Amino acid sequence: MKHTPTATRILPETERLRLRRMELSDMQALSDILCDERVMYAYEGAFDQEQVAAWMQKQLRRYEEHGFGLWAVVSRQTGEMIGQCGITMQEYAQRQVPEIGYLFAYRHWHRGYATEAAAACREYGFRTLGFDALYSIIRDTNVASQRVALRNGMLPVDTIVKHYRGVDMPHIVFRTRSGEAPAADTPPVLACRPVR
């Protein structure tokens, strides 16, 4: 793997979306996502403002430590931050693995944005960061996110239980490996651009 902070100065774009590092000026948009019960049902409920601030700080640390994390997903048409998607290191099978994760504002659900952004992250993870495999670890009740993982060329390979917010939560582990063909309906990544 060649993932280093200097190797990640260019982030993916798609036909409709641009991914960029989140900034403190994104706190309101991030809060709109993380404080929405509908969006956060797989996390056992909405976050409060303290949890939102901690989430933001975690992403900023990830950018510094790894050169990647969850990025802001911005509509190229409106310039609005409509969600977040990216690659984070997560604990699985007693090791750290790169996971593609995504969360979008409720009003932007069912438009294909999660699939489009996740596909861009898949290509970025393999081509730019040099990972051999990418994962998505998804709660068993989160069927919509499972469908995104499948469309992103991932297959279920394991089940695990995470303990979060006082609840045991079964999760399905999805994985794809470098060289495996993505699903036929996966949107193409148009280009990469320098990080600001």
Examine residue 188 and state whether it is found in any structural domain, yes or no: no
24-60 confidence digits (pLDDT tens): 999 999 999 999 999 998 888 899 999 999 999 999 9
Question: How many domains are contained in the chain?
Answer: 1
- Ranges of residues in the chain whose predicted pLDDT is under 70: 1-9, 181-196
CATH number at residue 80: 3.40.630.30
Examine residue 71 and state whether it is found in any structural domain, yes or no: yes
* Mean per-residue pLDDT over the chain, rounded: 89
Q: What is the pTM of this model?
A: 0.87
**Cα torsion angle, 118, 91, 45, 158, sign:** positive
Distance CA 57, CA 43 (A): 18
Tokens at 11, concatenated: 């982030």
The pLDDT, as a whole number, for residue 156 is: 97
